Homo-oligomer: A and B are copies of this chain.
Amino acid sequence: MDITTEPLTAEAFAPFGDVLSAEGAPDRLINAGKCGRYHDRAALSFFEGRAGVSIFKAEPHSLPYECDLLERHPHGSQCFIPMSEHPFLIIVAPDLGDRPGSPRAFLTNGAQAINFHRGIWHGVLTPLAGPGLFAVVDRIGDGKNLEEVRIAPPFRVRTS
């Protein structure tokens, strides 16, 4: 099966999580008007844990991309903040009774971060260019917070 990337918008991504960007008017102007604050844009949710900030460094992938694994974190949301201006690929799927349904793929515009809501099925981190550096705000805590499902046969993600 092939799926085609969609441009990432807040509306299209709403069933899966939040898009964090500086689009539109800021919620507040600070620093004598020199800085716009787009306030509190991620629905963070942590069960028996707390928020932490980690750095991820991931190998770049290329398109078309073959996806054979989806995962989810039942105990916490996960926010990915790119530390470069390169677009990255996001793969998500709705939940069909403990298994992922039909996947969708989104491509960021190079100035967007995203926050997966707690328990949302998603692919692993897939930058499309180096350095593949991200800050990640997710749950720090004990207990099993990872479910993985192999996808067989894999599906393929193409650009539109």
Contact = CB atoms under 8 A, between A and B. Distances in A.
Given A35-B56, A83-B113, A51 B124 contact: no
B31 A55 contact: no
Interface residues of A, number: 44
A155 to B, nearest CB: 18
Interface string A33-47: 011111111101000
Interface of A: 20-22, 26, 30-31, 34-42, 44, 50-59, 79, 81-85, 111, 113, 115, 124-125, 131-133, 135-137, 140
Enumerate the 10 nearest inter-chain pairs by beta-carbon distance, A residue then B residue, closest first.
A51-B51, A35-B58, A38-B55, A22-B57, A40-B52, A42-B53, A31-B124, A81-B135, A34-B59, A36-B57
